[in-house]
Every structure is written in structure tokens, then in C-alpha cells.
Amino acid sequence: MHQLTASDEFFDTLIVGAGSIGVAAGYFLSRAGNKVLLLDAGDPPHSGGSHHGSTRLIRHAYGEGAAYVPLALRAQHLWLALEQEAQAPIFTRTGVVNIGTHDDPFMREVARSASEYGLALEFFDGPQASRRWPAWRLSPGQMAAFEPDAGVLYCEQAVLGFRRLATALGAQLRANTMVARIELLDQGGVGVVTDRGERFTCRDLIVCAGRSCRDLLEPLGLRVPVTRVRKSFAWFDGDPLLFAPDVFPGFAIASEAGQYYGFPDLDGSGLKVGRHDGGQPVGANAPLAPFGDDPSDVSDLEGFLRRHLPGAGKLRTGKTCEYDMTPDEHFIIDRLPACSRIHVATGFSGHGFKFASAIGEALAERITLGASRLDLSPFSMGRFGGLDRASAEGPS
């Protein structure tokens, strides 16, 4: 335990990591009247977080589990509200098509979640889907589930929008600031020390700093079960008659070639495609090798395109990113067992951005109201054997 000193600057809530979830939480807390400080190792939006790469899909009929659907629907509402308040492009309704085999558990879950929540969903067999969207080459053994109300989020615009609104409400953001350690204070608060020796104290702390979460939380008694995995994605030339947003929706597909996702040609940027499974494990603090360093970066994407989207043209450019993977590929959103005033949000396993607005709001509600309107219990750390179970309340 550490003593609070008169020289420490005090905040109601301090947020370590001002990326997608951190900056959303900062906005909602500031709107509720909290004195908020956000610390980030970069200057968001930036290329070192989970929000780079221009675009993300948002789907509501969710093959990863029906527990995500209320979170997705709330997030969609909040993204549209952010678009209005920030006066910036955040969402484009392109529709999203999920593709798999008839017996694919992912596809069954998409159908079940749509039925349970009354979501619009259209089903096609492979040949029907290829006629509906001529870019696709699908077999009779495949099927497609099209969600017309889903679409594309402009992730960097979203982070920038929340940042501007939060700081306009009084939130402070210290960019390019590394956090060295977190301290529990004798008086019940929390202290944060930066690599420059600055020290800030707060009543409540949110740690949503991606790969840094593990190093920051382990000294407090929590070993976060998250592994870094390097992934690649790229843009390709595409005929507008095949790949423009009005004729080609966003997609997620599980096939013999692997699990892939992609976007229509938005504003002439090209057809964007990435591989969701696979990838290369990376050390906790190791740099990511640039796109093309691993032969599979190009070969996997081009092989998938030849099989299913043969109208795609040559490679334009590629990038790498990282997934912070939990053992079950579901999120961690919880409180620290040793201190209930420390909130943890990590392990988003490559599918978290679409929910960032709702998760940020839920964290703010836990702090300001004591509980969130959404049930976050499926994301408790207690589901992992050998970890102390932290508190995880349901909806208020």
C-alpha cells in the first residue's frame, strides 16, 4: 500500500489506454460529471491500437454467441448517436453476409440469435448467393445469411469523435505517456505512476491498455490470460461493378481456406480482406513484423480470393495488426479481485471494436451507478480456472 500525498493530482476516474473503449468510457464518464484523466502510450487514433485500419464490420446476428447481441444492438445505437453529435461519418449501412456450410455451428448461432432477437436475416444457398452477389463463387454445400441492417464502422473517425467530445466536456488526455505501475493506496484510492515519474491518483481506475494490461496488472495479483497474435490484412483492386458498396456487402466467411472477413470498395480504397484465424504468436513486448515478412501474409489472402472472389485484382497494400486472444476468444470485462475500484477490459480477441461504444458506456455506468444496464457476467474473469473470481453484476 502507498500513501496519498498532497502533491498528487486527484481525479474521479483515471483511464489507462485511450483507444476505442477507453475514450468511449472517458466520454460517458465526463458527460456524467466525472473529473477524468486518460493516459495513452500513443496519440489516438494511432496505428498502435486495435482501432487502426480504417474500417470494422458491425454485425448484430452474432455467430460468436447470442450473449453478444444486446451489446451489439446498444453499440449500434450509440454509434449512430456519436455520428450525429460528432458530425462525422461513423457508420455506413452496407449489409453484412455471413457464409459457411449448412452444419456450421457459427451459422446456426447466427440464425438462432437473429430469431431470438427478431433481427432481419435473409438466407441463400451457395448458388443463390452467387447470383445475388456476382463477385462470389460459392458451392451448393455453402449457405449465406445476409443481415441488411449491418454494415461498416469507420473506426479511426469514431475514436477521434469520442476524443473531441470527451475533451470538450472537460476530460484531460495525456498522449504519448507510458504508465509504469499502478499502486493501491492506504486511503482506498488508486495511484498511477508514469514512466516520467508523474503520479496521479483517482477513486476509480479503468485499465484497457491492450497488451500492456498484463504487465500492469500482474504486480497486483492478476495474471491476465491473453496471448498476442500477429494478423495481416490488405486491399486489392476491384471492379466497381462487382465490389462497390451497393452491390457487395461486408462479409465474414468460414471455408476450407480458413476464416476471412472483408469490406466492399469504399470510396475507391479497394476491396479489403483479412484472415481472422491463423496468425503468428508474438512476444508480449516484441514489435510486429511488417506486412509481407511472413509468406502467408500474401499467399493466404490471394488463395482465398482465387477460390471465392476471383474478380479481385492485384494487391494494393497490406498491413498487420494484433489480436489479444483469450483462451476461449471471449472478452474480459471485470473488476480486479484485489480492488473492486480497478476495472479491467481486455482480451477482445479480434472482434471487440464494434462493441466499444457500449462497453465504454457500461464501464461508466458501473462507476457512476454501481451497475451497468447490460449483463456483462459472461465476460467475468472467474470463468477461467485458477483465477480468483471478481465481481460481475448483471443488469441494474
Classify domain 9-50+156-226+328-383 at the CATH class level. Answer: alpha beta
Cβ distance 91 to 58 under 8 Å? yes
With cell 456483462, the residue in question is: 376
Cβ distance 185 to 203 under 8 Å? no
Catalytic site residue from 13, 55, 201, 320: 55
Q: Across all residues in the chain, what is the average pLDDT? A: 93
Task: Choose among 299, 274, 294: nearest CA to 282.
Answer: 294
pLDDT per residue as tens digits for the range 167-208: 999 999 999 999 999 999 987 899 999 999 999 999 999 999
pLDDT at residue 391, as a whole number: 36
Is 56 among the catalytic positions? yes
Eight-state DSSP code of residue 180: E
pLDDT at residue 50, as a whole number: 66
**Distances 218 to 224, 334, 387 between C-alpha atoms, Å:** 7, 15, 12
**Rounded Cα gap, residues 299 and 364, in angstroms:** 43
Find the DSSP H helices in 190-238: 212-217
pLDDT per residue as tens digits for the range 14-37: 999 999 999 999 999 999 999 999
pLDDT per residue as tens digits for the range 331-381: 999 999 889 999 999 999 999 999 999 999 999 999 999 999 999 999 999
Catalytic site residue from 155, 208, 213, 321: 321
pLDDT at residue 377, as a whole number: 94
Cβ distance 41 to 142 under 8 Å? no
Is 51 among the catalytic positions? no
Q: Which of 46-50, 90-94, 290-294 bottoms out in mean pLDDT, i.e. has the lowest?
A: 46-50
Catalytic site residue from 199, 230, 308, 354: 354
Is 208 among the catalytic positions? no
C-alpha cell at 337: 479481485
Q: What is the C-alpha end-to-end distance of the chain, expressed in Å? A: 32
Task: Choose among 291, 287, 342: nearest CA to 319.
Answer: 291
Catalytic site residue from 51, 56, 335, 341: 56
Catalytic site residue from 60, 276, 330, 341: 276
Facing residues of 334 across strands? 344
Catalytic site residue from 74, 272, 343, 351: 272
Q: Where are the domains of the chain?
A: 9-50+156-226+328-383, 96-148+227-325
With cell 447470442, the residue in question is: 66
H or E stretch at 244:
none
**Rounded Cα gap, residues 280 and 289, in angstroms:** 10
Domain 9-50+156-226+328-383 shares a fold with domain 96-148+227-325 = no
**Rounded Cα gap, residues 272 and 350, in angstroms:** 16
H or E stretch at 260:
strand 258-263
Q: Side by side, which strands form the sheet with 55-58?
A: 55-58, 151-154, 91-92
Q: In which band, very low, low, confident or very high, does the pLDDT at 46 lie, cut at 50, 70 and 90?
A: confident
Please indicate whether residue 387 or residue 169 has the higher confidence score (pLDDT). Answer: 169
Does domain 96-148+227-325 match CATH 3.40.718.10? no
Looking from the CA of 88 toward its CB, the CA atoms found within 13 Å total 17
Task: Choose among 396, 369, 395: nearest CA to 34.
Answer: 369
Catalytic site residue from 31, 35, 52, 383: 52
